[in-house]
Amino acid sequence: MHFSMSNFGLYEERIKHFDWSVAEKELEYRDGNVLNIGWYCSDRICLKGKGDKKALIYEGFGGINKEYTFNDIRIAGNVIGKFLRDLGIKSEDRVCLFMDRIPELYLSFLGALKIGAIVQPLFSAFGEESLFIRLENAQTRAIITQSKHLSKVRKIRDRLPNLEFIIIVDYATAKKLETREIVFSLDESAPVDNIEIYPAVAESPSVLHYTSGTTGQPKGVKHVHYSIIAQYLTTKWVLDLQDDDIYWCTADPGWVTGTSYGIIGPWSLGITQCILDAGFSAQAWYKFIEKNKITVWYSAPTAIRSLMKAGDEIVREFNLSSLRHLASVGEPLNSEAVIWSIKMFGKPFHDTFWQTETGCIMITNFPGMKVKPGSMGRLFPGITGAVLDPENYEPITEPGKIGLIAFRPGWPSMMRAYWNNEEKYREKFKNGWYLSGDRSSIDNEGYYWFIGRDDDVINTGGHLVSPFEVESALLEHPAVGESAVVAKPDEINMEVVKAFITLKPGFSPGPDLELEIMNFVRKKLSPLAMPQAVEFMDKLPKTRSGKIMRRLLHAKEWGEEIGDISTLEND
Amino acid sequence: MTDLYNVRNKNLNYLLIMEDIKELIRKYVTNEYLEEGEEITYDTPLISSGYVDSFSMVSLLVFLENKFKIKIPPSKATPEAFDSVNKIVDLVNQFINK
């Protein structure tokens, strides 16, 4: 396969006359038209004559393989949409997808959107408390899940009066169905060739992804169907997907990358994509690329660093010559990883920067453009960005000076609200700018250089973890008196969770208690939120007004200057 | 004869202890990481199957170090070395009695 030119072309040309109408025209969308992502990702591709083209190549653990054409995913979306509609699910009802990366997850996404429901994808490794908080906040009406995750749902359903339907896609007869539980089998359902597609318009809500902040509970980021305009174009220009590509996005659709670029982007372009639903192993990943002749690979720095750790020899055992474009997202991609990928695959990983709230890639290293290893790249055309002075929220014009990464609102996939949380939403805007919460500098060629978060949120393996959420969970453990949670540096995951803990009277610190606390958080929240280190303290550093000085503990972990400690309590 | 008997007895004890360790680890993994109704054998892949993810592997490492009073260096605590109960037992065996 030979590709002479990227979809993107020259940066200077693209930014000169840019308008989002480029994507609208290609998608044959006009202002005011019906715009339904579920239809665009399946029915429209079939109408374009690609119904027989492969849409999904799935491999589960243990050699389970399934393939679906675009016509198959169109019909499957109809089947699921009809099933939900027959239950009484209406437009804007929240339908949670709580599954591993099985085909039903991807197909339910289309089906729920086709009937106008709002899809709420959640990471299947979430523990019951993480699940409860998000379902309660969204007042979710139905959850689609697997037998293996049913016990978590059963533990919390009585506290969720709005959750009317618990739909199990792989029901095993050994288990007795309980209240509100319904069985659904895609394989055993009769095909549905046509259903009435919900006439969503640009501003109709589509997807609700949850993200964590420093304080308060996780926030539901509301997106709308018009987001497809930006997701389509960024997929085409940044990931450079072309008609005969075989694409692999390693992200889980429980997170925004897995929906924006693991479903909407590739399928709105009619691209074949591969899914590997198995745990990480370097050998399995390389084998998957070789077997499926993957050409475009979108992954994450944590995975890339894990592959680096597995060594160079194993790379040489596989024929990976099909790869032609590599990209990365989730956290800053260190220059060593870029240089390593050039050495091993003959091409660099292209870093991309964006967030749950932005819905699409905002800053990136474009195909064909000079990659500066360690840099996030340049702004996507149509995005107005800057780094702001944290004192007055005015753009910094001096190259190399650090400020807050901010964007002018108005791009198609920008979040429209935090679900039921207007106050938090407003806090994200200052002086007419959307504040990303990240800091960087910009060099004299317009390349952004990531510095770090502007708050206490922990970025572990590309996922944001709220210290507040972990501290709240810790306090529910019978031995924990007080806790403070900070990021700890980590070679593979960039940051991991560390907990400082004081114990209640009658409890003694020790390795067994440390393990018990780790597992307590893992099961309650998720493996990502589990403290990978616990330090027991006699007392936590506090201000004179009694507030825990998390900053001091963070500085200790990172070997940084402690700074002003004039407010530190001293007794 | 006595020497041969002792050697045999010692080996038998060793094998019994290893069987106990194996079962202890299998039970721990089953109770802590598997969902209801899931079962594993000593050879079931744990990491590459997705039963234990890379984050949870850290708590498994802490369990092994606590239980067997050993210290496993990060270079040895790889996903490959943790990929089944049998492999974990091999790893633990390298550090027990050192």
- The per-residue pLDDT for range A436-463, each reduced to its tens digit, is 999 999 999 999 999 888 888 999 988 8
DSSP at B46? S
Determine the pLDDT at residue A456. 87
Which residues of A339-462 form beta strands (DSSP E)? 349-353, 363-364, 378-379, 385-388, 403-407, 417-418, 429-430, 433-442, 448-453, 458-460
For residue B4, the distance in angstroms to the closest alpha carbon of chain A comes to 41
Quickly list H helices, A276-349. Answer: 282-292, 301-310, 313-316, 335-345
- CATH number, domain B2-95: 1.10.1200.10
For residue A488, the distance in angstroms to the closest alpha carbon of chain B comes to 14
Common-topology check for domains A11-214+222-439 and A458-558: no
Determine the pLDDT at residue B4. 52
Report the topology of domain A11-214+222-439: Rossmann fold (3.40.50)
Look at residue B40 and tell me whether its pLDDT is greater than 60.
yes
Residue A42 sits at φ, ψ, to 5 deg, of -140, -65
Chain A residue numbers touching B45 (CB-CB < 8 A): 61, 279
- Stated as kind and residue range, the H or E segment containing B22 is helix B2-33
Determine the pLDDT at residue A92. 98
For A331-350, b/e burial (b = at least 16 CB within 10 A) is: bbbbeebbebbeeebeebbb
Nearest to B37 among A147, A278, A512 (CB): A147
Q: Where are the domains of chain A?
A: 11-214+222-439, 458-558
Residue (of A165, A202, A223, A273) closest to A40 by Cα position: A202
Q: How far apart are CA A139 and CA A285, in angstroms?
A: 38
Instruction: Share the mean pLDDT of chain A.
Output: 94
Which are the contacts of A328, defined by CB distance < 8 A and separation ≥ 6?
Answer: A298, A299, A300, A301, A304, A337, A349, A350, A351, A352
Residue B12: pLDDT band by 50, 70, 90 thresholds? Answer: low
Look at residue B68 and tell me whether its pLDDT is greater than 80.
yes
Which are the contacts of A53, defined by CB distance < 8 A and separation ≥ 6?
Answer: A45, A69, A70, A270, A272
Residue B6: pLDDT band by 50, 70, 90 thresholds? Answer: low
Cβ contact B59–A515 (<8 Å): yes
Cβ contact B36–A61 (<8 Å): no
Q: How far apart are CA B97 and CA A534, in angstroms?
A: 27
Q: Is A512 near chain B, with CB under 8 Å?
A: yes
Mean pLDDT of A548-564: 84
Q: Do the beta carbons of residue A449 and residue A374 sit within 8 Å?
A: yes
Least confident of A32-46, A105-119, B3-17: B3-17
Determine the pLDDT at residue B16. 64
Could you tell me what percent of chain A has a pLDDT over 70?
A: 97
Mean pLDDT of A156-171: 96
Residue A2: pLDDT band by 50, 70, 90 thresholds? Answer: very low
pLDDT higher at B12 or A254: A254
3-state secondary structure A20-68: CHHHHHHCCCCCCCCCCHHHHCCHHHHHHHHCCCEEEEEEECCCEEEEE
Mean pLDDT of A230-247: 98
Burial bucket for residue A83 (CB in 10 Å: 0-12, 13-18, 19+): buried
- Stated as kind and residue range, the H or E segment containing A114 is helix A103-114
Cβ contact A518–B59 (<8 Å): yes
Determine the pLDDT at residue A571. 52
Q: Is A527 near chain B, with CB under 8 Å?
A: yes
Helix (H, G, I), strand (E, B) or coil at A313: helix
Q: Do the beta carbons of residue A109 and residue A273 sit within 8 Å?
A: no
Least confident of A100-109, A110-119, A173-182: A173-182
Determine the pLDDT at residue B97. 66
The model's pLDDT over A36-64, given as tens digits with 9 standing for 90+, comes to 999 999 999 999 999 999 999 999 987 89
Interface test with A, best of B38, B47, B61, B62 (most A CBs within 10 A): B62
Report the topology of domain A458-558: GMP Synthetase; Chain A, domain 3 (3.30.300)
Determine the pLDDT at residue B91. 94
Determine the pLDDT at residue A194. 96
Phi-psi region of A32 (alpha: psi -120 to 50; beta: other; left: phi over 0): left
Look at residue A79 and tell me whether its pLDDT is greater than 60.
yes
Mean pLDDT of A516-543: 94
Tally of CB atoms within 10 A around A48: 12
For residue B65, the distance in angstroms to the closest alpha carbon of chain A comes to 9
Helix (H, G, I), strand (E, B) or coil at A387: strand
ipTM confidence: 0.86
Mean pLDDT of A363-373: 92
> For the whole model, what pTM was predicted?
0.91
User: How many Å separate Cα B7 from the centre of its chain?
Assistant: 25
Cβ contact B80–A281 (<8 Å): yes
pLDDT higher at A481 or B3: A481
